[in-house]
Amino acid sequence: MDALPLLALLTAAALAPPLFHAALRRSLTPRRRHDGGEPQALGLPAEAISLTGGNGKRLFAWHIPAAGMAPAPCAVLLHGWGGHAGDLLPLAAPLHAAGYALLLPDARSHGRSEADSFASLPRFAEDLDCAIDWLRRQPGCDPARLAVVGHSVGAAAALLAASRRDDVAAVVSIAAFAHPASLMRRFLAARHVPFVPLGWYALRYIERTIGQRFDAIAPENTIRRVRCPLLLIHGRDDRTVPADEARHLAQRAGGRAQLLLLAGDHEAFAEPAAGIDAVRDFLAAALARR
């Protein structure tokens, strides 16, 4: 949608609804990125694997076994919209050094994974479920100490998946939004697309396309059904998802979530080590209870 000027979008909506629908569908197909590092450059003993995701699509992932022989605490690290597994390698390195077995998948239509007809929060969560199930079956993973870490849409997917499962021991949410509708309203407003009637119609069309009502998958609602320990990390200067949404999520968790606000934006913190230390300390405490 961001590739269309407002005038063209208005014309398409008024004169040719199929063109408007096509523009909306394109907005659900992120541009692939292939930049970023490789785990070997960080000294990580990663193996590239292929696993089956939602709709039977092939998912690419980095599997990084723990160094020891005994079953270890393990974690799935999931990137955000338009990202890929390499985005979370800076966090993977210290977690592996702390003894974790790790899995870093590319969601469908991202990175090196197979494309699907569109990407969405529910599809991120489906792929995350497949990744969790795969990691649980590995002999080097202690399934009682399995955590999920997600960024942005990946964080929303982590909350959605954990709200439906009882085998996730801890969740770390980095820069999650509170509700898909509020995120999309900001997206449309930034491009000067009037909410009435175009924005409202766009939201209803996307709900119909992804097969879910936004209220059913919104982190502000799913977080209330998560029973494991939660850590919410957010950049104070995040303009994509304002920090107030993290505060709102913490309130919705009913005291079951720790909230950490750091200097930084949606993609990076001013002092990455502070965020890494917080994740490592939180997971150590949460998984020690298992």
pTM of the model: 0.91
**pLDDT tens digit at each of 290 positions of the chain:** 344 444 445 445 544 567 767 777 777 888 888 787 899 999 999 999 999 999 999 999 999 999 988 899 999 999 999 999 999 999 999 999 999 999 999 999 999 999 999 999 999 999 999 999 999 999 999 999 999 999 999 999 999 999 999 999 999 999 999 999 998 888 888 878 788 888 888 889 899 999 999 999 999 999 999 999 999 999 999 999 999 999 999 999 998 999 999 999 999 999 999 999 999 999 999 999 66
Q: Answer for the pair 124, 152: CB distance below 8 angstroms, yes or no.
A: no
In the chain the domains, ranked by start, together with CATH numbers, are 46-179+218-288 (3.40.50.1820)
HSE at residue 116, side-chain half, CA atoms within 13 A, is 24
**Confidence (pLDDT) at 70:** 86
**Confidence (pLDDT) at 15:** 44
CA distance 113 to 107: 6
**Confidence (pLDDT) at 11:** 47
**Confidence (pLDDT) at 1:** 39
Length of the chain counted residue by residue: 290
**Confidence (pLDDT) at 111:** 95
Q: What is the 3-state secondary structure (H, E, C) of the chain?
A: CCCCCHHHHHHHHHHCHHHHHHHHHHHCCCCCCCCCCCHHHHCCCCEEEEEECHHHCEEEEEEECCCCCCCEEEEEEECCCCCCHHHHHHHHHHHHHCCCEEEEECCCCCCCCCCCCCCCHHHHHHHHHHHHHHHHCCCCEEEEEEEEEEECHHHHHHHHHHHHCCCCCEEEEECCCCCHHHHHHHHHHHCCCCHHHHHHHHHHHHHHHHCCCHHHHCHHHHHHHCCCCEEEEEECCCCCCCHHHHHHHHHHCCCCEEEEEECECCCCECCHHHHHHHHHHHHHHHHHCC
Q: Answer for the pair 175, 233: CB distance below 8 angstroms, yes or no.
A: yes
